[in-house]
Structure 1
Amino acid sequence: MSVLILLLIASLSVSVIFLGAFIWSAKNKQFDDEYASSMRILFEDQPPLPDEKQNVQVSLPPVSTINHTVHASKKLN
């Protein structure tokens, strides 16, 4: 039982040390990316995406079951 208490104290102390290191590095701007903003000017912007609301009309007449033929017409704008 005493080994479990010892391991619990050791794991909590290690986690507190890592939490302190993370907070220190976040306050000292260790995670700021200064390289990407200077390299961004070298690349072109991506072209804008096409409008998803294109005017498309599709008309399909009913299927003829007597002579087993299918007639379909598509009108795209």
Structure 2
Amino acid sequence: MNIIYVLIPLAIVLVCFAIAIFFWAVKSNQFEDLERQGSSILFDDDVNHKSTKSKQNNNTDV
């Protein structure tokens, strides 16, 4: 029964800490753009990598 006197305040402190972290994340715009990261894996950036590689190959051939 004595453990209740420890666990209830500990739970309240943890909940308050989680709420504070949530409000900090909202205030610092952590949830501003949720779509960009999910759709970024769908698009290839190989065009930029190929042009960079071809420039590097041309420099080594000279």
TM-score for both structures, normalised by structure 2: 0.52
Which residue number in structure 2 is paired with residue 2 of structure 1?
2
Give aligned-pair identity as a percent: 22
- Structure 1 vs Structure 2 CA RMSD: 1.9
Count of residues in correspondence between the two structures? 37
Q: Provide the rounded CA distance (Å) in 2 between the counterparts of 1:20 and 1:2.
A: 28
Runs of 4+ in 1 over 2 A off after TM superposition: none
Amino acid in the other structure paired with 2:26: A
Could you tell me how far 1:23 is from its partner in structure 2?
Answer: 0.3
What is the rounded CA distance, in whole Å, between the counterparts of 2:16 and 2:4 in structure 1? 18
Query: Match for residue 48 of structure 1?
Result: none
More strand by share: 1
Report the equivalent of 1:42. none
The one-letter code of the counterpart of 1:28 is S
1:9-24 alignment to 2 at 5 Å? 9-24=9-24
Greater Rg over alpha carbons, structure: 1
Equivalent position SS for 1:5: helix
Which one has the bigger helix percentage? 2
Q: Partner of 1:53 in structure 2?
A: none
Instruction: Return 5+ residue gaps in structure 2 as ranges.
Output: 41-62
Q: Could you tell me how far apart the structure 1 residues matched to 2:31 and 2:2 are?
A: 40
Aligned-pair CA distance for 1:3: 0.7
